[in-house]
Amino acid sequence: MDLGSSTQYSDQQIIEFLRLNSSERRRSEDQLFSRYVYFVREGMSKHGLSEDEAFSAYSDSVLSAIEKIANLNFEGRSSLKTWLFQIFHNKCVDLVRKKTTNKSSVYRTESISDLLFQISDSARSVVQNLVDKTDWNLLRSRMNQLGENCRQLLGLWSENYSDKEIASIMEYKTADVVKTSRLRCLEKLRQLYNEP
């Protein structure tokens, strides 16, 4: 079935392609992401989130929806749009709660660099060198466990290439697709860090 690169899938086709892990899956993911990206503005206006916060909530929502659809957890009791918006709304509410309750203090951590200022200069350089070496070795090890695309994308991002530049270099359709892919890669990396 040749659908051509400009074909817009129906919601039902997107769901089918995500469930089938077919060659059309990536295009389906891209179309799902771009179809409802205007939710970001709603998150900003309705929940008072910054653009980055709303975009992050939206990206998380799409990734969650893709996973649930692929695992056959979307039952179709509502439209894809309504279901995705509910996931997005819940993620926005969680963000607002996290920002406005006393529980948010649990998420505030002291950075190692802040703690280093509390010890003497000579000890600080020894500790900093150990931390740097350990961090780099661990990061290198975890990065090697990622796929080549993720390694290249995160490498370019760490060198301060913009999403638009990365899209051009790696031949992604748009900067938004790069941002979503980067979030996926960072999530994989985070999961690898959490493994024993």
Residue with tokens 């790696």, as numbered in its chain = 170
Exposure of 49 by Cβ count < 10 A (0-12 exposed, 13-18 middle, 19+ buried)? buried
Q: Record the pTM.
A: 0.51
DSSP readout, 109-152?
---HHHHHTTS-HHHHHHHHHHHHHHHHHHHHHHHHHS-HHHHH
pLDDT tens column, 41-95: 988 888 888 888 888 889 888 888 888 888 888 888 888 889 989 999 999 998 8
In the chain, where the domains are located: 11-100, 111-194
pLDDT tens column, 137-150: 777 788 888 888 88
Lowest mean pLDDT among 17-26, 36-45, 155-164: 17-26
